Amino acid sequence: MGRYIIRRVLQSILVFFFATALIFSMVFALPGDPIRALAGERSQSEAVRNALREEYNLNDPLPVQYGKYVWGLMQGDFGADFRGRPVSETIKQRVPITARLALVAFLFEVIIGISAGILAGVRQRGFFDSLVLVSTLTVISIPIFVLGFLAQITFGLKLGIFPVAGIKEGWISYILPGLVLGSVSLAYVARLTRSSLVDNLKTDYVRTARSKGLSHNRVVGVHAMRNSLIPVVTYLGIDLGALLGGAIITESVFNIPGVGGAVFDGVIRQEGTTVVGLTTFIILVYMIMTLLVDVLYAVLDPRIRYD
């Protein structure tokens, strides 16, 4: 296990440099002058523009800009926007908000998604199984921004159960956007749990457990579910990384000032350093979650060994 973890960490470092270099080149290769965009409709002298371009290394070739960015990143510096505010401050301010939203969405995925998948798998071809398959397919087919608007109209405006936008009312403000954010993943978790459980219930080791006289609950809960959860944990781990990274559409629809909203604002204002810094943070979260998921494989299934 130790050698595997070291190998995965080294692979993650290579992936990190490749991904950040790709994103850096794409963001700073976009057309337009961010210094002119910073001034807006106000007049700006050429001397001021040149000074700002020199300050933010925009006159350097792209590889040199990336090298300076990585050097600062190795010292814990994510850069600064064109107003002089460090990107790390934006991360500290936005991440807790996105983390609360991600936690609510993740709990919906785990509790509702896995429970629905287990019940559908145990009662295969029954009414509940058909209900789960049809409802999850419907949710997957609807764009997330449409789900967001429908949720706002139904549960916010008409029924008045949850706030429509913002986070001023505390944790209750995160329930509706959290449900919308986790809805598609919840549907995938339910279908994945159901299909995995159905496959495992047909295996030889399950038939052997039943032939030994074990109860139905023990056969399903201990023997079948242990292996059935492996692909589910994989999906949940990667999806948690995506949730923590921020959801641009959901945060925009519900006016939540999280990481996704900061990335969106950075793109609109052509704040390349902000977009790259926040995206770098998202990549780090992805890599950590993927590594944790790989390690959990051996915990869930003792037959899996990496050394």
CATH number of the domain that 272 lies in?
1.10.3720.10
Euclidean distance between the first and final Cα of the chain, in Å?
Answer: 5
Residuewise pLDDT in 10s, the chain (307 residues): 667 677 777 888 888 888 888 888 877 766 666 666 555 556 556 676 667 676 666 667 778 878 888 888 888 777 777 677 788 888 888 888 888 998 999 999 999 998 898 888 888 888 888 888 899 999 888 888 888 888 889 888 888 888 888 888 888 889 999 999 888 889 999 999 888 888 877 777 777 777 777 666 676 766 677 777 778 887 887 788 778 766 778 888 888 888 887 887 777 777 777 888 888 888 888 788 777 777 776 565 555 555 5
**Which structural domain range is residue 152 located in?**
1-307
Cβ contact 97:85 at 8 Å: no
Given the structure tokens 């948690």, which residue do they identify? Answer: 240
d(CA 127, CA 164): 34
Closest C-alpha to 221, from 118, 293, 150: 118
d(CA 87, CA 95): 12
Cβ contact 31:270 at 8 Å: no
Domain count, the chain: 1
Alpha-carbon Rg for the chain in angstroms: 24
d(CA 113, CA 107): 9
Q: Is 60 left (phi over 0), alpha (psi -120 to 50) or beta?
A: beta
Write out the two tokens for 25: 């080149």
